[in-house]
Amino acid sequence: MTFKALAIDIDGTITNMDRRLSLKATEKLRELDVPVVLATGNILCYAKATAKLIGVCCNVIAENGGVVTDRFDKKPYISDVITECEQAFDILSREFDMEKLDSVHRRTEIVLRRDFDLERARALLNTTDLDVEIIDTHFAIHIKSKKINKGTGLVRIADMMGLKPSDFVAIGDSVNDMELLALAGYSVAVSNADDFLKDIADHVTRESYGEGTAEVIDYLVSKGMLNTRQ
């Protein structure tokens, strides 16, 4: 089967843990003859700039599915879910010393530095009736609505692109990629991925980070599952 598009995570999948972009992975992405959607927990301007600089502009799922756009200068779709996240933050920050990241630009989630006791914070959140969860991507901790994720983002961007989620190959590394990989037609976890992501993936790479992404793109092209430009 030949897939019609690729949805790919940024941090840990085309970067290493220092967030250095793999030039090998970006070259492979640029050579593909299908649209590449960046699907990330990062804010929209970070994702758009990454897409532009890689040369795969501009289908973007940002903020773990909360913000979605298919064009650079278009008003993005923004989920109306920030209020519950702010309520959760108000409750948690009375108990924990928490530092917000990117809060000026973030529209649908609250993201925190990874320097507090996550399990205790989760336990406290579970005593509320907020429809909110806390996830740790290894890069940051996100207080996010349970109503949105990269899977709901994929459904939305696929619709904007006239495609189905099953038309996509998806590649990722972390807990925030679970729903994306579950909905895609073919799913890949890079070898540095969390074990629970590897368990649901159709394919796990041998190499880590961007090298793993480059490796699987070569594999998918060799099997005719993705096409490159001639």
Under the binding rule (CB under 6 A), the answer on residue 79 touching ligand PGA is no
Select the residue interacting with ligand PGA from 3, 12, 171, 186 (CB under 6 A).
12
Q: Would the annotation count 195 as a binding residue?
A: no
SS3 assignment, position 168: strand
Select the residue interacting with ligand PGA from 6, 7, 8, 11 (CB under 6 A).
11
The encoded tokens of residue 101 equal: 């990241």
Q: Is the peptide bond before 58 cis (omega within 30 degrees of 0)?
A: yes
Residue 9 annotated to the active site: yes
Burial class, 63, CB count within 10 angstroms (exposed 0-12 / middle 13-18 / buried 19+): buried
- Residue 163 CB neighbours (<10 A): 18
Which of ligand PGA, Mg ion, none sits in contact with 140, Cβ below 5 to 8 A by type? ligand PGA
Closest approach of ligand PGA to the CB of residue 129, in Å: 26
Q: Which residues contact 194 (CB under 8 A, 6 or more apart)?
A: 173, 174, 175
Which residue of this chain has its Cβ atom nearest to Mg ion in the complex?
12
Under the binding rule (CB under 6 A), the answer on residue 151 touching ligand PGA is no
Q: Would the annotation count 177 as a binding residue?
A: yes
List binders of ligand PGA among 16-75 (CB under 6 A): 40-42
Where do contacts with Mg ion occur on this chain (CB under 5 A)?
9, 11-12, 173-174
Which residue of this chain has its Cβ atom nearest to ligand PGA in the complex?
41
Under the binding rule (CB under 6 A), the answer on residue 110 touching ligand PGA is no
What b-and-e string marks burial along 183-215, b requiring 16 or more CB atoms within 10 Å of the CB? Answer: bbbbbbbbebbbeebbeebebbbeebbbbbbbb
Catalytic center residues: 9
